[in-house]
Chain A
Amino acid sequence: MAELQEFWRWTEYTWNNPDIDWRKAKRIAAGIDVGSVSSQALILADGQIFAFSNLRTGSNSPDSAHKAVNGAMKDTGMELSNINYSVGTGYGRVNIPFANRAITEIACHARGANFMAGPKIRTVLDMGGQDCKAIHCDERGKVSNFLMNDKCAAGTGRGMEVMADLLSIPIKEIGELSYQVDKEPAPVSSTCVVFAKSEALGLMRSGWSKNMVLAAYCSAMAHRVSLLLGRIGVEDQFFITGGIAKNPGIVKRLEKELGIESVKTKYDSQIAGALGAALFADTLLQKGGA
């Protein structure tokens, strides 16, 4: 029997900076972002990014948190007891046993974006696994206005995973393929993932190519998100965090719709939440917490 391929599956990985010796660091702070789809843990040594992991969330928040933090500490010799202060964030934040404090992911994403893309960032869009947040922040990464849509999974990473699976296309290739069409099709009209899936099936039966369906789905998602951003207003500079930021099929269409380019950085967009949490942990540690 042929092996079942899971098209929605994206790569899990861990990273650490071999140039930093954590044993010499005075402050070790960790941020753990247990999201609805992915979990990240990030460790700061004296305010420098030392290590992080980016894994899938399991069905159990404490397990996912342990897995993430152990992933980040892998091959470094560090143990949980070496971390001076840790902050949990994301959907599972109240359920992380070793975290000293839980902070909402909105504050963390703004802070993380501020670190990743600089103090000029005013608008942050977090396209997560199960919700979408539009955040306006000031030059210190403090939230000044935000809007969250978590009532519906359309326009989120999970919606994209469902589409990847339906069309049997690896999720990483969706962005590229959605541009390989002769003419940009009209967006799918459904806003619901489940209905969008049946609409996509219908379109394929009527002779649309997979790429056409992807293009229609990506532009529907971009349009939906741009409406959300419209409520808080998009101000320069604009930054996208979360897994969808890696999908050019959505990002470029959204930029076109908004008429503004988003800032790109060398960092992985998925770690923004964990990075923000770790930065808060570092600040709280300096204030004399723990």
Chain B
Amino acid sequence: MIANYGYKDGSGEFFIAIDTDKCNGCGDCVPVCPAKLLAMADDEYDPLSEKTVVTVIEEERKKIKYSCAPCKPASGRGPLPCVAACTPGAIAHSW
């Protein structure tokens, strides 16, 4: 399942998309996020599965444009820490 965490407003679309089928539950992405947006949890959108997957912390979902900004400087961005740390390639950003 692709879980889109984030929002859309007048200034654009800001979503972190997590592919829970690709996520293997390793948790490598959690410590590398400087804004501490990520956490491991039960897959809340598939209540019958027992799998643990990464999610964006609920209180952070409505402000990711600002929380993620330090990793995305206008002067050109390197690889995003969360995306780079994810071996199975389950994390993507929409902006």
Q: Which residues in A have some Cβ–Cβ distance to B below 8 Å?
A: 101, 103-104, 106-107, 142-152, 191, 227-228, 231-232, 280, 283-284
Residues in chain B near residue A103, CB distance under 8 A: 44, 47
12 examples of A-B residue contacts, CB within 8 angstroms: A103-B47, A107-B46, A107-B47, A142-B46, A143-B1, A146-B2, A146-B4, A147-B4, A227-B8, A231-B8, A231-B13, A231-B15
Q: Are A144 and B7 in contact (CB under 8 A)?
A: no
**Given A144-B1, A144-B2, A145-B2, also A107-B45 (CB < 8 A):** yes
Q: How large is the interface on B (under 10, 10 to 19, 20 to 34, 35 or more residues)?
A: 10 to 19
Q: Are B15 and A147 in contact (CB under 8 A)?
A: yes
- In the complex the two chains form, what is the Cα distance from A150 to B9 in whole Å? 10
Chain A interface helix/strand/loop/mixed: mixed
Q: Are B44 and A145 in contact (CB under 8 A)?
A: no
Complex interface bits, B1-38 against A, C-beta within 8 A gives 1, otherwise 0: 11110011110010100000000000000000000000
Residues in chain B near residue A146, CB distance under 8 A: 1-4, 45
Judged by a CB distance under 8 angstroms, whether B48 is at the interface is: yes
**Given A142-B1, A143-B1, A144-B1, also A149-B7 (CB < 8 A):** yes
Shortest CB-to-CB span from B37 to chain A, Å, is 17
Residues in chain B near residue A147, CB distance under 8 A: 4, 15
- In the complex the two chains form, what is the Cα distance from A103 to B42 in whole Å? 11
Q: Which residues in B have some Cβ–Cβ distance to A below 8 Å?
A: 1-4, 7-10, 13, 15, 44-48, 62
**Given A145-B4, A231-B4, also A151-B9 (CB < 8 A):** yes
Residues in chain B near residue A149, CB distance under 8 A: 7-8
**Given A146-B3, A146-B4, A147-B4, also A104-B45 (CB < 8 A):** yes
Shortest CB-to-CB span from B33 to chain A, Å, is 21
Q: Are A280 and B47 in contact (CB under 8 A)?
A: yes
Which of A103, A228, A232, A280 gathers the greatest number of chain B CB atoms within 10 Å?
A: A103
- In the complex the two chains form, what is the Cα distance from A78 to B13 in whole Å? 48
Residues in chain A near residue B13, CB distance under 8 A: 231
Q: Are A145 and B1 in contact (CB under 8 A)?
A: yes
Shortest CB-to-CB span from A75 to chain B, Å, is 32
State which of A106, A152, A191, A283 has its C-beta within 8 Å of the C-beta of B45.
A106
- In the complex the two chains form, what is the Cα distance from A148 to B46 in whole Å? 16
Residues in chain A near residue B4, CB distance under 8 A: 145-148, 231-232
Those 9 A-B pairs whose CB atoms lie nearest each other, nearest first: A145-B2, A151-B7, A103-B47, A147-B4, A143-B45, A104-B44, A107-B45, A144-B1, A143-B1
Q: Are B9 and A152 in contact (CB under 8 A)?
A: yes
- In the complex the two chains form, what is the Cα distance from A101 to B2 in whole Å? 23
